[in-house]
Amino acid sequence: MNSMDIHQVLEYLPHRYPFLLVDRVLSCEPGKSIVALKNVTINEPFFGGHFPHHPVMPGVLIIEALAQAAAILTFKTAGGKADENSVYYFVGIDNARFKKPVTAGDTLRLNVALERTVRGIWKFKAEARVEDAVVAEAELMCTVRTLKDESSR
C-alpha cells in the first residue's frame, strides 16, 4: 500500500493548478483501491463565484477529484504514468449523488475501488467523505487514450 506526496501525485496526473484536485495519496493497492485527500481551502478559484456569500465546492469538481484519484489507481495498476501522448477521459458517470455541501476548511477523503476493466474501460465505485460523512458518491467509467501525432496530419 503506497502513500504518495504531492510530488509523486504530479508524476501520475497531467493536471496542474488550478485543476489538480488530489493533494496526497494515503494508500494505493494496484488493481483494488486508492484513498486520497483533497484539502479544500478558501483560496480555491471557484469559491469567488460559487457562491460568494456561501462558498460551496461544485459537485462536478468533487466528481473530478474522485476521477483523478481513479486515474492514479489506473496508472498504478497498468504500470504506467501520465504523459503528453495520452489523456484520461470520462466515459460515463452513473448514480452520482451529493449528500452534503463541501466548504472551505474541509478535507475530502477520496475512496475509489476498481470494480472491473473491460476492453480499456475502467469502472470504479467512488465516494468522497468529509470526516465520517459521505458527501458524494458515484460509479465512474474512464479510459486512457493515446493522442494522435499532430505532425502526421
What CA–CA distance (Å, rounded) separates 68 from 5? 15
What letter does residue 132 receive in the DSSP assignment? T
Q: Is 50 labeled as catalytic in the residue annotation?
A: yes
Catalytic residue among 7, 15, 50, 53: 50
DSSP string, 28-68: EETTTEEEEEEE--TT-GGGGTS-TTS----HHHHHHHHHH
**136 with 127: CB under 8 angstroms?**
yes
| Omega before 98 within 30 of 0, i.e. cis | no
Grid coordinates representing 114 are 476498481
**72 with 36: CB under 8 angstroms?**
yes
Which positions are annotated as active-site residues? 50
